[in-house]
């Protein structure tokens, strides 16, 4: 299909001009939300720090003995959750121009190909939304650093909120410390188990990343199917599907546990179980990637078949 950079640029300019308020409000909500979580997290840590370091009317000799004032794991978890939700919303708003009949008429009659319009919408909402989330995280990190320096100074150090978010995605575990503490007096089974434990962490990270991508594309697909109330409907469908998957997962675990040779498992130091779990997470992540590719292609097909009125979109 012919793809004209000039037509693409003209369509982009038109869309940004017509929907500038919508895009601006979405961007402001994302940024303010991330910064707000960082500020609330700081206030919570400050309150805890104050209650610990101030006692009997006087401050302890070492106010930095309580390291919780600089612990960002909890705040990072809330930031990840919020930005994840925003990515779902971005994906669910990709075809917001089609939410009413007049918008569909305008969208379908604009001088640009379906591919050009689809690339713009998905590129702006998915790619642009992801970049906006990163920038919001960095801004929140900067605000947290400024608050930490203003209240505690530089003596106790300043932890990075962005680094804490990265630790969550990488399932940060001090493997080196475990090796140093255990292998000094451990055996070959312990060493093998730790090796597979490290591989398991990588496989879980792989799985989480691609499952998150697949979930985001599901919301894109939901928007291609239904133009109004699609985010709520997709969320409900995802919860029902997730409930079914969890049940099947536990049934599978129960069957596996019933069939596994416990004696062989103990003799191998748990390596068989860790190996199977590692392979399983890689398989799940790969299937999620395939699903994301399929739903992305299907979303494009549905977009090209958009009509002014359909039974689902009147």
Residue 46 confidence (pLDDT): 86
Check whether 263 has a pLDDT greater than 60.
no
Give the three-state DSSP class for 173.
coil
Q: Average of pLDDT values for 50-78? A: 70
Band (pLDDT 50/70/90 cuts) for residue 242 is confident
Residue 66 confidence (pLDDT): 63
DSSP letter at 183 equals T
DSSP 171-221: T---HHHHHHHHTTS--HHHHHHHHHHHHHHHHHHHHHHHHHHHHHHHHHH
Give yes or no for a contact between 111 and 47, defined as CB atoms under 8 angstroms apart.
Answer: no
Report H helices in 112-187: 114-122, 129-152, 161-169, 175-182
Check whether 31 has a pLDDT greater than 90.
yes
| 84-133 pLDDT tens trace | 999 999 999 999 999 888 888 988 888 899 999 999 999 999 999 999 99
User: Average pLDDT of the chain?
Assistant: 83
pTM value?
A: 0.83
| Identity of the highest mean pLDDT range in 21-25, 95-99, 258-262 | 21-25
């Amino acid at each position: 299909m012919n793809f004209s950079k000039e037509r693409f640029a003209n369509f982009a300019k038109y869309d940004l001009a017509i929907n500038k308020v919508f895009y601006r409000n979405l961007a402001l909500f994302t940024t303010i939300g991330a910064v707000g979580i960082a500020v609330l997290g700081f206030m919570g840590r400050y309150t805890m720090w104050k209650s610990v370091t101030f006692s009997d009317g006087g401050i302890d000799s070492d106010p930095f003995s309580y390291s919780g004032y600089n612990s960002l794991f909890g705040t990072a978890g809330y930031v990840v959750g919020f930005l994840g939700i925003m990515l779902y919303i971005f994906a669910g708003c990709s075809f917001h121009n089609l939410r009413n009949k007049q918008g569909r008429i305008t969208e379908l009659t604009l001088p640009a190909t379906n591919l050009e319009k689809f690339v713009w919408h998905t590129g702006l909402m998915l790619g642009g939304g992801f970049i906006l989330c990163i920038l919001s995280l960095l801004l929140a990190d900067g605000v947290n650093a400024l608050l930490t320096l203003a209240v505690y100074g530089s003596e106790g150090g300043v932890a990075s909120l962005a680094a804490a978010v990265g630790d969550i995605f990488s399932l940060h575990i001090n493997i080196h410390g475990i090796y140093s503490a255990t292998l000094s007096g451990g055996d070959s089974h312990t060493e093998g188990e730790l090796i597979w434990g490290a591989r398991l962490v990588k496989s879980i990270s792989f799985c989480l990343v691609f499952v998150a991508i697949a979930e985001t594309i599901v919301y894109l697909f939901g928007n291609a199917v239904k133009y109004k109330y699609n985010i709520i409907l997709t969320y409900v469908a995802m919860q029902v599907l997730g409930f079914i998957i969890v049940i099947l997962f536990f049934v599978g675990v129960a069957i596996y546990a019933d069939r596994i040779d416990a004696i062989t498992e103990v003799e191998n130091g748990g390596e068989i179980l860790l190996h199977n779990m590692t392979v399983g997470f890689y398989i799940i992540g790969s299937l999620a990637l395939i699903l994301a590719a399929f739903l992305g292609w299907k979303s494009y097909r549905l977009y090209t078949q958009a009509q002014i009125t359909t039974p689902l979109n009147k």
